[in-house]
Amino acid sequence: MQIAIYTRISEDDEHLGKGVQRQEQDCRGLVTRLEWSGEVSVYKENDTSATRGKRPVFERMMADAHAGQIDAIVFWDSDRITRTPREAEDVIDLVTTRGIKVIGFHGDDLTTSDGQMLFRIKITVARNEIDKMKRRIRRASDQRAADGQMAGQTGYGFKRLEGGSVSLVPEQVVVIQDAARRVLEGASLRQICMDLQKRGVSTPGRGSTWNTTTLKQLLLRESLAGLRRHRGAVVGELHESIPRILTVDEHERLKAILNDPMRRTAPVGRAPKYLLGGIARCGRCGGVMRRAVGRMTTTKSGGSKRQPPSYVCGDCYRVRRKQADVDALVEGIIAGRLQMPDAAQLFVTGDPIALAEAQDAIEAIDARLANAADMFAAGDIDGGQLARITERLRADRARAAADLEAALPGAVPADLMGDAAAETWAALSMDSKRAVLSTLVTVTIMPSGSGKAFDPATVRVDWRS
């Protein structure tokens, strides 16, 4: 006789398995009392819910039963083997269609019609209790959201004190604020993750490695800006007693940047290696210049030789220029211009603090406008709500734009201007150099006849300001 013992416990925080061990002992005692003899197999599921997710061990036992590998099943109590009427019928079918004996330690006997009826009633009652518990939990969750309280876990940057109040974790707050600032200044998530990993900063979850997905999810958390998300939507602000890590404006700008479908991401470790790849444009067709390895050519003596790496147009393939010559020219132009005495005046005029604040306000408003459009497209708000939001934000934007009329705010860090510009530029990472280039200039590589010496005039550098 092939006998199966099924044991299950929903929660075992210590993962010691003592609950399922006790169930197994009781079930083995029942097998002895029934005077069943044969091979006993134990199907054990520890720390596994009967109502959430899958139960692979239960499913394997059912499959073995249908395959004729089980003659009898013993379980501890009805709610251990199932808590759903649908599964209850599947278990009863093993008796009625396959002749398998199914017996419970606490008196369940599915081999009789009365036993099957009682089993169905017990499972139905258990399911009703689960549904009532879910409604209570849902109502309590709604109340916490309405009161501006955080959900159960506070998340990275926060900690819950004795008594239920929430405070900040200073070292984690520094990580979040620094990462947010760098993203808003144009740094890539990849670059920030590499830096955090190099410094040995602990990650938010159980993993030991920072990655762009983890960092993005962290920076987009509404709770950092004091906003409460509930059932997939922001429903209001957190209680005033809960401290904020970011401002709402910073949160909106981060959402616009990190959720931009045009934003390109790459796994951590794939830092850009080339200065102008994907940045420079083709002067013939306007396509993007890509970095390409040198082509193999045949020498006069009949041998082969690889040409040096170059930038080549990825669209027309008609414009190609030696990478080293172009990089040296562009870097020399950038560093030379930033060394000039009037470099700061070139990028900042008027009151730089007021201008920076105005630009931040405009970026935040534009982010909110974009987010409102996304919410309308997703059906989260109706047309009337979108119109009211848009009207108010456009008025705010017009006022902020007036502050920017005189000039643009500084786009170049202070230490990248003046006598030390060349030295500072040389010390920048490739990622930072590319960010500065994209902010300050456009680089266009013009067509040139093949075989000619490099002509600096064929590389056009135009300052965005």
List strand residue ranges (DSSP E) for 271-385, in order.
Answer: 281-282, 289-292, 296-298, 304-306, 310-313, 320-322
- pLDDT, tens digit (0-9, with 9 covering 90-100), for 28-38: 999 999 999 99
Using the predicted structure, report yes or no on whether residue 58 has a pLDDT greater than 90. yes
Q: Which two tokens stand for residue 28?
A: 């083995």
- pLDDT, tens digit (0-9, with 9 covering 90-100), for 254-308: 887 887 654 544 444 445 678 998 889 999 998 888 888 776 677 777 777 778 8
Contact 12, 19 (CB under 8 A): yes
**Burial grade of 82 (CB within 10 A; 0-12, 13-18, 19 or more):** buried
Handedness of CA 166, 192, 202, 199 (dihedral sign): negative
Mean pLDDT, residues 308-313 taken together: 89
Q: Which two tokens stand for residue 420?
A: 């030390």
In this prediction, residue 13 carries a pLDDT of: 58
Handedness of CA 238, 241, 246, 247 (dihedral sign): positive
DSSP conformational letter for 169:
-
Using the predicted structure, report yes or no on whether residue 464 has a pLDDT greater than 80. no
- pLDDT, tens digit (0-9, with 9 covering 90-100), for 319-363: 989 999 999 999 999 888 888 876 655 555 445 566 566 667 777
Band of pLDDT at residue 230, cut at 50, 70 and 90: low
In this prediction, residue 465 carries a pLDDT of: 59
Using the predicted structure, report yes or no on whether residue 242 has a pLDDT greater than 60. yes
Length of the chain counted residue by residue: 465
Mean pLDDT, residues 96-124 taken together: 93
In this prediction, residue 421 carries a pLDDT of: 81
**DSSP code string of 173-184:** HHHHHHHHHHHH
DSSP conformational letter for 195:
H
3-state DSSP assignment of residue 320: strand
Beta bridge partners of 445: 282, 459
Task: Return d(Cα 275, Cα 314) in angstroms, integer.
Answer: 16
72-75/2-8 β-pairing: parallel
